Each structure stands twice: as C-alpha cells, then as structure tokens.
Amino acid sequence: MKLTFKLNGKKTLIDAPGNMRLIDLLRERLELTGTKEGCGKGECGACTVLLDNQAVCSCLVLSAQIDGRSLITIEGAEKMKEAEALRTAFAETGAIQCGFCTPGMILSAAALLRTHRKLSAAQIKRHLAGNLCRCTGYSKIIEAVEAAAIKLKNGKRK
C-alpha cells in the first residue's frame, strides 16, 4: 500500500505492504538501522520510536498504522531538542555501555521530557521500565535523564 508520513520531519512516500512491521520498514526499506531489534515482541524496548510523539515499540506497529502520521527515529534525534539533550547527557554521564538499548532508551526518555520538565527519579524509573538495559544497571541512565531535564528547563528560561 502507498504510505505517506512524516519521517524525522520530512514528508515521506513509500509503497510497502501494510502488514510489514514498522521496524522492518525502517531497517530494511528505509535503511534506518538505528532502530534495534532485541526481542521482536515488545518486551525489551530497543526498537522504540516516536509515533506522533508517543514512544512505541516499532516491532509491534504495522506499516499501515503510520499512514498520515509523524515518526521520529534516532536518526532524527538532532531535530528534536529533548532527544539531542539526552544524547549529550547519555555520553557525558556514562549512560552508554554496549549501546544496543541506547537509541530506544533515548527516544523513550525523549517522549517523557517532551511533556515533563520537572521529574522525580521515581517517575523516570517508571517511564523507562519498558526499556531493558543489561549493562548499566540504569543508574547513569536515570542520572542522564535528570541532567537533560535540568538542561532543557534552564535553556527555556534563558
């Protein structure tokens, strides 16, 4: 089917089977391999993308569902200030080890930061509970999200 959607801010037209998983559309057809597949069952969150600014597992979304909507992947992070602030904070606090969960983790956190600037650690933990990380123990990920939130809040004030 013909799909029209906004991909990382750019209008995109593609002909793809409506029942193709979004993760396959991204990785195989659009060559956006930043979205990672960890389980294919919506259980690890590595394939998280933003669909109309909501964090979704792209392995559980079918291509037909994105028609007419707006999609942000990690490759478009630079166009979203929350994701960009998170990228910097993740690097600086040491929230990245193997890095396989990182794109999904950043986008998941970006969805949170879009609607919340003031966050408790408990809120961050709850929000990120669907994104598994086996390396970091989450300590520095939580720190990074807190740091990005503060930076965004201060940036706005200026």
Partner 1 sequence: MSVIGKKVVRREASAKSSGAGLFTDDIKINGMLHAAVVRSPVARGRIIRLESDSARRLAGFEGLFTYKDIPGRNSVPIVIDDQPCLAENKVNYIGEPVAVVVARTRETARKAAQMVKVVCREQPPLLDPEKAKNHSRIHLFGDDNIFKHMRIRRGDVEAAFRDCDVIVENEYKTPYQEHAYIEPQAMIAVPNPDGTIDISGSMQCPFYVRKAVTTVLGLSDSTVRVIQCATGGAFGGKEDVPSLVACQAALPAWLLKKPVKIVYDRTEDMICTSKRHPAIVRYKSGATKDGILRAVEVEYIIDGGAYATLSTVVLFRGTVHSVGPYRCENIKVDSYAVATNKVPAGAFRGFGSPQVLFAVESQMDQLAERLGLDPLEFRRRNILKRNDLTATGQKLEYSVGLEETLERVVQVSGWKPGQEKENDTGYGLSTIFYGVGLGAGGKHLARTGAAVILNADGSATFSVGTTEIGQGMTTVLSQIVADQLGIPLEWVSMIPTDTSRVPDSGPTVASRSTTMSGNALLDACRKIRRQLAEEAASRLNCRPEEITIDDGFVRSKTKSLPILEVIKSCVAHRRCLAADGWHVSPPTSWDDETGQGDAYVVYSWATNLALVKVDRETGEVDVRKIWAAHDIGKAINPALAAGQIEGGALQGLGYALMEEAAVDSNGRLLNTEFSTYILPTAEDQPEIIPEIVEHPYPDGPYGAKGFGEQPLMGIAPAIANAVYDAVGVRIKDLPITPEKIWRALHDRGKSSPQESKTGKNR
| Interacting residues with partner 1 (CB under 8 A) | 27, 31-41, 43-44, 46, 73-75, 77, 87, 90-92, 94, 96-103, 106, 124-126, 128-142
CB of 157 to partner 1, least distance (A): 26
* Cα(17)–Cα(107) distance, integer angstroms: 26
CB of 73 to partner 1, least distance (A): 7
CB of 154 to partner 1, least distance (A): 21
CB nearer partner 1, residue 51 or residue 101: 101
CB nearer partner 1, residue 68 or residue 94: 94
Task: Tell me the C-alpha to C-alpha distance, in Å, between residue 84 and each of 40, 74, 104.
Answer: 26, 10, 13
All residues at 6 or more sequence positions from 97 whose CB lies less than 8 Å from its CB, including other chains: 133, 135, 136
CB of 11 to partner 1, least distance (A): 21
CB nearer partner 1, residue 61 or residue 142: 142
* Cα(100)–Cα(37) distance, integer angstroms: 9
CB nearer partner 1, residue 66 or residue 140: 140
Closest listed residue to residue 4, CA positions, set 59, 62, 77, 70: 70
* Cα(137)–Cα(82) distance, integer angstroms: 23
